Amino acid sequence: MLKQIKTYLRLAFWFTLSLVLLTKASVPPGDRIENVRAYTRNIEFDYVRWMINAAFTKISQASLDIPRFLPEDDQIVLVKDNLSLTGEIRTTEAVIEMVYSDPTIDDPDKAAEEYRSQLIKLKTLQSFLGPLSESIIQQQTSQILQDLHIAYGGQPFPPLFYRITPLPYALIVSPLDTIRQDANISLLPDMPLDSRILLEQEVEENLGVSALVVPVGGVGVYPTMVLSTSNLMSLTEIISHEWTHNFLTLRPLGINYFTSDILRTMNETTASISGKEIGLATLTNYYPELVPPPPTPKPYATYQTHPDELGEPLAFDFRAEMRTTRMTVDQLLAEEKITEAETYMEERRQYLWENGYQIRRLNQAYFAFHGAYADTPGGAAGDDPVGAAVRLLRAESASLSEFINKISWISSFDGLRALVGTTPK
């Protein structure tokens, strides 16, 4: 009983704190933001309402403490069953969408009736298994955090709580003449594609900016929001990524998240590195048969545009190609060649599409968003030294715990460079 009371108090404390921080920081102040919000106010996501509902759900789950009554083997089976159920749900939804899209089907309602009935049964079953699976993975990941010494008094701080939920879209806005995130506004999760495209067009035409509506995999509110997926590797990584944001919240790095693009990149790169390591450790400890094989080593830059010395085409390297694209765009914008940069980005988008990477739009806003996730060399960050410095600090740290505790107290890029002692290339 005492343990449950402590759990309630911890959850209530972090929930209240998150509400305060969210009110202050979810939409940074400024005329540029307010200009954009003129087009989004009626379609913005209500985090406060979601967090209140999620908090009550998590308190209910915590009060039952069901994982404590299940043997570990049964817990693992339950999680796997729920993942399979998620896969069945997504497949059934895809079939229903295909039925309604098929012009040869005269009565799609009748044709999809059986699938809709099956979908209701699957979702009913998941309404029972889903919360149990969440509680089990929370407990497993919390234990890994303790094993990695990222815990205080035997418990992760803040406690790890997450909810699988439909995630809001994010409207990203960047100036045309430079790549910089001026706005990141959360939108309703059920916005259809045509509405997203129309919003981008309205914002761009009326404000003279670059805009893009993007999906997200998680949101670091409290409890954290996590994307539904049947891939356990991806799930544990996202859960750990968003918990890392919670960890940083009361420390200088997290507090200054919205101060600049540099600090946002430091935050996101830290969370990405942490999320991958914690997620992989969780998978390795509890689900070793699901751990993917290590990637095959390959050169930093391999291109499909020229053959190797044996005359065979090299494998397409998306990150290398995207790095080249970002560097070229940065150069064109520095030369005030905005039209040329946008023409080049569209050409590169088509080239990437032809090689299997279906990017809907490639513009300044795309790079402003994706460039902050620099845990791996190359990609949308281009030659930005910030991500490289974060990676170097991790390489120089004896453990993940040491790395997180070092970087969490930094509030500037100069502070990071002082820690690593150099400016990485």
Helix (H, G, I), strand (E, B) or coil at 56: helix
Indicate the number of domains in the chain: 1
Q: Is residue 143 part of a domain?
A: yes
Return the higher-pLDDT residue of 305 and 181. Answer: 181
Q: Which domain holds residue 161?
A: 2-168+216-251
Q: Is residue 43 part of a domain?
A: yes
Q: Is residue 418 part of a domain?
A: no
CA–CA gap between residue 173 and residue 167 (Å, rounded): 19
What is the rounded average pLDDT of the residues 239-244? 96
- pLDDT tens column, 34-67: 899 999 999 999 999 999 999 888 887 776 677 7
Interstrand relation of 224-226 and 162-164 (parallel, antiparallel or unpaired): parallel
Token look-up 């300044």 returns: 364
- pLDDT tens column, 346-366: 999 999 999 999 999 999 999
Q: Which is nearest to 6 in space by CA: 130, 121, 155?
A: 155
Helices of type H across 102-259: 108-111, 113-147, 193-207, 232-248, 252-255
Q: Is residue 296 part of a domain?
A: no
- Amino acid found at 411: S
Q: Is residue 246 part of a domain?
A: yes
Q: Is residue 71 part of a domain?
A: yes
Could you tell me the two tokens for 51? 């967090």
CA–CA gap between residue 263 and residue 265 (Å, rounded): 5
Q: Is residue 149 part of a domain?
A: yes
- pLDDT tens column, 361-379: 999 999 999 999 999 998 9
Predicted confidence at residue 306, as pLDDT, reads 44
- pLDDT tens column, 99-156: 988 889 989 999 999 999 999 999 999 999 999 999 999 999 999 999 999 977 678 8
Per the CB < 8 A criterion, the answer to whether 341 and 335 are in contact is no
Token look-up 């930094």 returns: 410
Q: Sorting pLDDT into bands at 50, 70 and 90, what band is 16?
A: low
Q: Is residue 340 part of a domain?
A: no
pTM value is: 0.88
Return the higher-pLDDT residue of 304 and 167. Answer: 167
Helix (H, G, I), strand (E, B) or coil at 367: helix
What is the rounded average pLDDT of the residues 214-221? 94
Sign of CA dihedral 71, 231, 264, 202: negative
